[in-house]
Amino acid sequence: MILVCLVFSVLYINVFVPFNINRWFSDSGFIQFLRLSSYGLVVSLVLLFTQFPLRKLFKVKAFSIKSYALWLLIEILLISLVYIFLYGNPVGNFSNDFIFSLKYTLLGILLPYLFSLFIIYYKNQRAEIRTLKDQLGSPVKKEMLVFKDEYDRIKFSLRTQDVLFLESTDNYITVYYLAEEKIQRKLLRNSLKRVEEMLAKNRIVRCHRSFIVNWTQIEMVQLNGKRLQLKLSHYDKIIPVSEKYSPLFLDLLSQQEVI
């Protein structure tokens, strides 16, 4: 992310010179190139600080959406302050300079930041696809899936081939499975994300923020408008595939034999 922000910022500022930034100082040629490039360098140095020593100091290993939004705000504020001390007059009208710096920092960082996040998201999607391919390419084993609650206590176990899907409701998960050719349900107090991590190597695939399905139980995948839907064996209702997970299923399906 830091490298992409650096390269993108330097190229974008020098090629498109947004906000007439080339006229802010009376320079030209190589000196102007260095000045314009320094704006992108400042962004990268601040991100280097916030993403490594600062995260280590606060022991932040992973972000939720809310905490990441707060962290991004902190990064923007720090970049604005650095710009004031490097290019402005911090002992003058600080409040006006800070608002001015904050506005242009927010507008300037938006494109490179979003571009770098898109690349990270794309790489993660490809990594998930490779992981799923490895999982689905391995032979099905008649092994038991162990389900644990939020306190990591074992609550029950089921044969892999008998599990149909898992559905999340508030703080609970409903596990749908087959027993004597009939659909049964068991309730488990845990988050879907934690259970997904537990079952990562067993062809249990996330298709929606509320659903995880057993890949071997999928009878049909259909496209309804722009959304994918799944039909599972022994189960009449349709399981939705959210937009986030659709590329995974489309890519996996494209590798299957076409009839």
User: Under a CB-based contact definition with an 8 Å cutoff, are residues 197 and 148 in contact?
Assistant: no
CA atoms lying within 13 Å on the CB side of residue 87? 19
Print the SS3 string covering 84-148: HHHHCCCCCCHHHHHHHHHHHHHHHHHHHHHHHHHHHHHHHHHHHHHHHHHHHHCCCCCCEEEEE
With a cut of 80, say whether residue 11 has pLDDT above it: yes
| CA distances to 44, 86, 94, 208 from 247, in Å | 31, 44, 48, 12
Give the start-to-end residue ranges of the domains of the chain. 2-127, 138-254
Tell me the average pLDDT across 110-131. 79
Band of pLDDT at residue 158, cut at 50, 70 and 90: very high
With a cut of 80, say whether residue 126 has pLDDT above it: no
Comparison of pLDDT for 223 and 139, the residue scoring more: 223
CATH architecture of 138-254: Beta Barrel (2.40)
What digits encode the pLDDT tens for the residues 174-232? 999 999 889 999 999 999 988 988 887 777 888 999 999 998 898 888 888 878 999 99
User: Whole-prediction pTM value?
Assistant: 0.55
Question: What count of other Cβ atoms lies within 10 Å of the Cβ of residue 122?
Answer: 11
With a cut of 80, say whether residue 258 has pLDDT above it: no
Q: Say what the pLDDT of residue 51 is.
A: 92
User: Under a CB-based contact definition with an 8 Å cutoff, are residues 195 and 166 in contact?
Assistant: yes
Comparison of pLDDT for 128 and 93, the residue scoring more: 93
Q: Say what the pLDDT of residue 211 is.
A: 95
With a cut of 60, say whether residue 142 has pLDDT above it: no
SS3 state at 179: strand
To the nearest whole number, what is the mean pLDDT of the chain?
A: 86
Phi and psi based region of residue 47 (left: phi greater than 0; alpha: psi -120 to 50; beta: remaining): alpha
